């Protein structure tokens, strides 16, 4: 009897399965079926196999989620409209700083550039003046040392006195690097680069934030300049890379703290920039560092400035210049916001695979 009962069960299951495959058993409507009922393709309701419905449902959910994310990001991204703004740029006489100053002037902004050397400032002012969008724009140069607390205050005092307002956007571009092996550095090297690359940005950001709050500037911007070496490091960068990691830590902190004042904080992670400083850097760069870096696929200062402004226009917090740095950003994002949930998820998956290869091979 038991064997007979099992045979009956088996026959019933086979019959049910055949009916299911041949669509004789009416199954509950899927999400896709409910959607089809609202379209001209209502005749297809109930015609899809479950696995087809599942795949289509997944695709619909993904598309809807991505669309919602894009709409949300466009609606909430911080505005970046340089026209009519006052932009203060440290390191503004050469390299990225000067290229950025030219770009801001061409977009209709008043510009203040800060650097130590008067001669370089004078040359830069002429170049920036030539790119102004209209004759009423003002370009001001301030000679100052960003490692000096007294000079930092003077920068903003002079700007307020001559421009009759505080800066809306502040870009901390001043910095330097002198790559050597750790044991070849002096203790003074660590102090010098910490003062310039980290404290120079911390000081300028501190004074900028205070002035923006006092002047009740809305949607102000403080833009830190880190480096791809603020996301990863290797031999030769023992004095430089830690300062760029520190800048990232400061930016992550201030992104939270300054939201209450509607001050937007951004951080830029450029790769190689072909500047006079890059040539000086190569004079002390160890051979092993050059081997690890390989052939440089860097950017001109102008290309780098375009990458930065494009990221600001998109409302990104962390801005990169190339695919490799973007992978590193997604892998080591920490508590920073995404530049897109799905794109970051995909890139981080690739990044972790690359990270495994880098660390094991």
Q: Write down the residue that tokens 């709050």 correspond to.
A: 213
Catalytic residue among 169, 198, 203, 240: 240
Single out the residue of 235, 244, 232 nearest to residue 182, CA to CA. Answer: 235
DSSP track, 111-168: EEEEES-HHHHHHHHHHHHTT-SSTT--EEEEE--TT-HHHHHHHHHHHHHHHSS--S
User: Contact 317/255 with Cβ under 8 angstroms?
Assistant: yes
244 is catalytic: yes
Compute the distance between CA of residue 309 and CA of residue 251 in angstroms, rounded to an integer.
18
Give the Cβ contact number of residue 250 at 10 Å. 19
Catalytic residue among 85, 98, 221, 244: 244
User: Contact 274/299 with Cβ under 8 angstroms?
Assistant: yes
User: Contact 215/165 with Cβ under 8 angstroms?
Assistant: yes
Compute the distance between CA of residue 359 and CA of residue 341 in angstroms, rounded to an integer.
26
- Determine the 3-state secondary structure of 224 from DSSP: strand
Write out the catalytic residue numbers: 240, 244
């Amino acid at each position: 009897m038991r064997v007979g009962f099992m045979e009956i069960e088996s026959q019933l299951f086979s019959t049910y399965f055949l009916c299911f495959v041949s669509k004789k058993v009416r199954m509950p409507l899927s999400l896709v079926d409910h959607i089809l009922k609202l379209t001209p393709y209502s005749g297809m309701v109930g015609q899809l196999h479950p696995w087809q419905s599942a795949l289509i449902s997944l695709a619909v959910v993904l598309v809807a989620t991505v669309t919602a994310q894009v709409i949300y990001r466009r609606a909430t991204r911080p505005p970046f409209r340089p026209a009519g703004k006052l932009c203060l740029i440290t390191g503004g006489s050469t390299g990225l700083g000067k290229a950025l100053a030219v770009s801001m002037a061409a977009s209709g902004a008043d510009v203040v550039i800060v650097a130590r050397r008067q001669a370089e400032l004078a040359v830069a002012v002429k170049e920036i003046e030539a790119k102004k969008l209209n004759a009423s724009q003002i370009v001001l140069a301030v000679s100052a040392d960003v490692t000096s607390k007294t000079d930092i205050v003077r920068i903003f005092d002079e700007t307020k006195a001559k421009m009759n307002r505080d800066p809306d956007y502040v870009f901390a571009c001043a910095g330097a690097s002198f790559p050597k092996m750790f044991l070849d550095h002096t203790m003074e090297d660590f102090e010098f680069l910490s003062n310039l690359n980290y404290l120079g940005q911390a000081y300028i950001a501190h004074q900028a934030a205070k002035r923006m709050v006092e002047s009740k500037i809305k949607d102000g911007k403080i833009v830190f300049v880190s480096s791809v070496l603020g996301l990863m490091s290797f031999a030769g960068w023992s004095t430089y890379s830690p300062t760029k990691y520190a800048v990232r830590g400061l930016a992550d902190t201030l992104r939270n703290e300054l939201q209450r004042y509607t001050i937007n904080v951004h951080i830029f992670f450029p790769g190689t920039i072909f500047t006079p400083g890059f040539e000086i850097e190569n004079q002390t760069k160890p051979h092993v560092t050059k081997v690890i870096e390989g052939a440089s696929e860097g950017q001109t200062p102008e290309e780098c400035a375009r990458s930065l402004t494009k990221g600001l226009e998109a409302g990104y917090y962390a801005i990169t210049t190339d695919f490799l740095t973007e992978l590193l950003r997604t892998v080591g994002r920490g508590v920073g916001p995404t530049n897109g949930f799905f794109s970051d998820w995909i890139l981080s998956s690739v990044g972790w695979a690359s990270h495994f290869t880098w660390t094991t091979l």
